Amino acid sequence: MTDEVNLNMRVKPAAFKRLLVEVRACRICEAHLPNPPRPILRASATARVLIVGQAPGRRVHETGIPWNDPSGELLRKWLGTDRDEFYDEGRIAIIPAGFCYPGTGPSGDLPPRPECAPHWHPKLRALLPRIRLTLLIGSYAQAYYLAGRRKKTLAGTVRARAEYLPEFFPLPHPSPRNRLWMKINPWFEAEVIPQLRRRFRACLRGVV
Ligand code: SF4
């Protein structure tokens, strides 16, 4: 039996759809949210790339579309992709560290709810057998997936990406608030973005 046949046997679209129904009915941290829960994620069992971001902002919460904001525009530019490909959930899964908008505090959006990733990510990952690359965008995604393997700073973690590849690719958050970070870390655009594009494209094509 070939590896591809084995892989196909492990892809369980019906089980994955059932799990998504459960996620969308989740009320675990309702008491801590500013609005009724609205989990925002997109995925299907055949996806090859997983994008793990932070948590929906207000605009994403209102539209129900992940990365539907200036951060998403920049992320698509980094990846060298367009909206059609980015939102093809059969190829790209988008599952943030927290699925519901957590509200805003004095210095911007609040962190993702800590209950969310530990409860849902292992269940979702177990039904995504074809993922070849997981983009860890921002410190919350990196804290959950890399835990003690993170470096002291975000720049340190991104620079050390060879330690986490081929499974994980750590990235800064493409928020306009991080423009200064991009400016003082020009190696990111010069070295990391070309590598990111190559790896992203190869995983989507199924050549790795
Ligand atoms: S943030 Fe996560 S854990 Fe909380 S209600 Fe939404 S889906 Fe459930």
What pLDDT score was predicted for residue 207? 82
Is residue 42 within 8 Å of residue 87, measured between CB atoms?
yes
Kindly report the number of other CB atoms within 10 A of residue 120's CB atom: 20
Cα(29) to ligand 1 centroid in Å equals 6
Angstrom CA distances, 203 to 73, 134, 188, 198, 200, stand at: 21, 10, 21, 9, 5
**Does the beta carbon of 97 sit less than 6 angstroms from any atom of ligand 1?**
no
Residue among 33, 35, 113 to mutate when testing ligand 1 (max atoms within 8 A of CB): 113
What pLDDT score was predicted for residue 3? 47
User: In this model, does residue 134 exceed pLDDT 70?
Assistant: yes
**CA-based nearest residue to 109, from 118, 117, 98, 120:** 98
Paired tokens of 64: 């129900």
User: In this model, does residue 112 exceed pLDDT 60?
Assistant: yes
Sign of CA pseudo-dihedral 45, 46, 50, 54: negative
Query: pLDDT tier at 177 (50, 70, 90 boundaries)?
Result: confident
Report if pTM > 0.75.
Answer: yes
Go through the chain and tell me how many residues it has: 208
pLDDT over 90 percentage in the chain: 88
Task: Look at ligand 1, atom 1, and give the residue with the nearest C-alpha.
Answer: 100
The more confident residue out of 165 and 10 is: 165
**Does the beta carbon of 30 sit less than 6 angstroms from any atom of ligand 1?**
yes
pLDDT digits (tens, 9 = 90+) for 63-72: 999 999 999 9
